[in-house]
Amino acid sequence: MNPRNWFHFMPRLFRRTEYLIRHPDELLAILTQALGKAYAKRLVIWKVFEDFLTLFRLVKAWVMRDYVDVPTKSIFWAIFAIVYFLSPIDLIPDFLPGGYIDDIFVISYVVKKIKVDLEKFEAWEKQRKKK
């Protein structure tokens, strides 16, 4: 994809993410698709695979209302990373060699952006497992 077109595509991804925040049933379906793709491509995205799974668990716990102590802005970014990973339209098409570099970048960026909230979520998960 031409980088100029990519910047026109990003607002659509933002709107899609906002839509999914308001439609949890559709978001759950997206999560299922994304998890399947992540496991299928885990050897390609190995550097961020665990981070992706954490984003997935955070969003799923939020949708299920098990974990709601997270800002909506952080949920937005987590969903955005998942939607970007799942999207067939990328800066670098996935079928090209190195095609997942942009996906890895987006996931890494989001993880850094919401690091504090991810750490709180992981602490909550650990506490929950102890019970």
Q: Is the dihedral of CA 80, 66, 30, 42 positive or negative?
A: positive
Cα–Cα dist 88/63, whole Å:
24
Cα–Cα dist 12/1, whole Å:
15
pLDDT at residue number 127: 92
> Phi first, then psi: what are they for 29, rounded to 5°?
-65, -40
pLDDT at residue number 7: 65
**52-61 CB burial, b ≥16 within 10 A, e <16:** bebbbbbbbb
What is the reported pTM? 0.91
pLDDT at residue number 6: 58
**23-48 CB burial, b ≥16 within 10 A, e <16:** eeeebeebbeebbebbeebeebbeeb
pLDDT at residue number 5: 60
Cα–Cα dist 16/20, whole Å:
6
Tokens 């993880």 locate to 111
> Tens-digit pLDDT profile for the chain (131 aa)?
555 565 677 888 999 999 999 999 999 999 999 999 999 999 999 999 999 999 999 999 999 999 999 999 999 999 999 999 998 777 777 667 777 898 999 999 999 999 999 999 999 999 998 86
